[in-house]
Amino acid sequence: MTQLETAMALLMKTFDTYAAGEGSKDSLTNNEVKTLLEKELPGMLKAAKNPGEVDKLLKGLDFNGDSTVDFNEFVVLVAALTCACHNRMCKK
């Protein structure tokens, strides 16, 4: 597989791994999202100035208002974080 294909496969596998914990396998509960962030993006949580920021992020991800994060919403999160990291690196 190419690097991009590998990255896409890893996104899908990561989502599926955490979505399998509780509730529907097609979406992440708030607890599953928090676990995913703690294990897969620990630097982001450390950078948060307060725990309320993480909760605000989770609410902002739930575009359809169903109190879960589906794969499309998850991909938006990853893309937004990737853009933010890229912008930071370009400014250095």
Domain that holds residue 81: 3-91
Query: What was the pLDDT predicted at 89?
Result: 67
- Write out the E strands in the chain: 27-28, 69-70
Q: Does the predicted model carry a pTM greater than 0.85?
A: no
Number of separate domains in the chain:
1
Which tens digits make up the pLDDT trace of 48-60?
666 676 677 777 7
**What is the CATH number for 69?**
1.10.238.10
Query: What was the pLDDT predicted at 65?
Result: 83
Biggest alpha carbon–alpha carbon distance for the chain: 42
Which tens digits make up the pLDDT trace of 71-84?
999 999 888 888 87
Mean residue pLDDT of the chain comes to 85
Query: What was the pLDDT predicted at 91?
Result: 67
